[in-house]
Amino acid sequence: MICWSCQRDAGRGPLCEACGAVQPVPAQANLFEVLGLPQTHFLEPLAVEERFKDLNRKLHPDRFAQKTPRERRMSLDWTTQVNDAARTLRDPLKRATYLVRLGGIDVEKECGTGAMRRLPPEFLEETLEQREALEEAKAAKDLEKVRALAQAVEKRSAAILDRLSSAMREFESSRERAALERAGDALAVLKYFSRFLEEVEAIEMAALE
C-alpha cells in the first residue's frame, strides 16, 4: 500500500513504515489482519493482549489530537477496529465462530433463525428433555436439581470443546469443508449449552433475591 502522506511504500501495518503517518483501515481487512496476527484458532491469549495494547498505544486518538482531521478520523477508525478485533479474538468461542464464518458458515445467523444446523435427532431430543427438566426444577424451586443439570451440561461442553479444537485443527491443515462443517456443528451445540447455563444462572440469582 502506498502512503497517502509520503507516497512511499507504507507496509502492511496501521502506520507508514517510511514516515509514520497513520493509514486508512484496509476495506477488506479481517480481524486477524487488523491485529497483525496469524489467521488461526490456536492463538496464544498473551499474543492477542500484547498486540492489542501495542496498537492501542500507537493509535489512541489522543496521540493524534494535533493532527489533521483526516488523521484523527483514521486513528479513530483504527481504534474501533482494534477494539472489535480484540473483543472477538481473545475469546476462543468467538474466535472459532468468526473463523468458521470466514470459511462460509455463519453459525450465529443459523442459530438466530432457530435452526440447529441439521444436528442429530437424538441431540435435539436431549435438548428438549433438558429444557423440560430445568423448567420442572425451576417450578419446584429445586436448586440441587438445577445445579445437577448444569453440571451435566458443563461436562458435555468440555467434550464438545475438544471436538471443536480437533475440527478446527483439521480444517486449518486440510481446508476440507467437512471439517469446517463439524466445527460449525460443535459451535451450534456450544451455543445451546451456553444459553442453558445462562438460564441456570438466572434461576440461581433469582433464588437469592
125: CATH:
1.20.1280
Q: In terms of domains, do 91 and 131 share one? A: no
Question: What residues make up the domain containing 138?
Answer: 117-208
Cell numbers representing residue 66 in the block: 494535533
Q: Could you tell me what percent of the chain has a pLDDT over 90? A: 85
Average of per-residue pLDDT across 52-66: 94
Instruction: Give, rounded to a whole angstrom, the gap between the first and last alpha carbons of the chain.
Output: 58
Confidence tier at 201 by pLDDT (50, 70, 90) = very high
pLDDT at 116 over 80: no
Number of domains in the chain: 2
pLDDT at 159 over 50: yes
Residue 152 falls within a domain, yes or no?
yes
Q: In terms of domains, do 137 and 202 share one? A: yes
Candidates 49, 129, 36; CA nearest to 86 is: 49
Residue 3 falls within a domain, yes or no?
no
pTM score: 0.87
Determine the pLDDT at residue 111: 66
Q: In terms of domains, do 167 and 200 share one? A: yes
Residue 155 falls within a domain, yes or no?
yes
pLDDT at 114 over 50: no
Per-residue pLDDT tens digits for 5-43: 999 999 989 999 999 999 999 988 899 999 999 999 999
Confidence tier at 207 by pLDDT (50, 70, 90) = confident
| DSSP label at residue 61 | G
Q: In terms of domains, do 144 and 90 share one? A: no
Out of 67, 98, 129, pick the residue that ends a domain: 98
- Residue 45: CB atoms within 10 A of its CB come to 11
Q: What CATH number is attached to the domain comprising 36?
A: 1.10.287.110
Q: What is the largest CA-CA distance in the chain?
A: 71
Q: In terms of domains, do 129 and 90 share one? A: no
User: Residues near 125 by Cβ (< 8 Å), separated by ≥ 6?
Assistant: none
Out of 51, 70, 98, pick the residue that ends a domain: 98
Q: In terms of domains, do 77 and 138 share one? A: no
Per-residue pLDDT tens digits for 74-112: 999 999 999 999 999 999 999 999 999 999 999 887 765
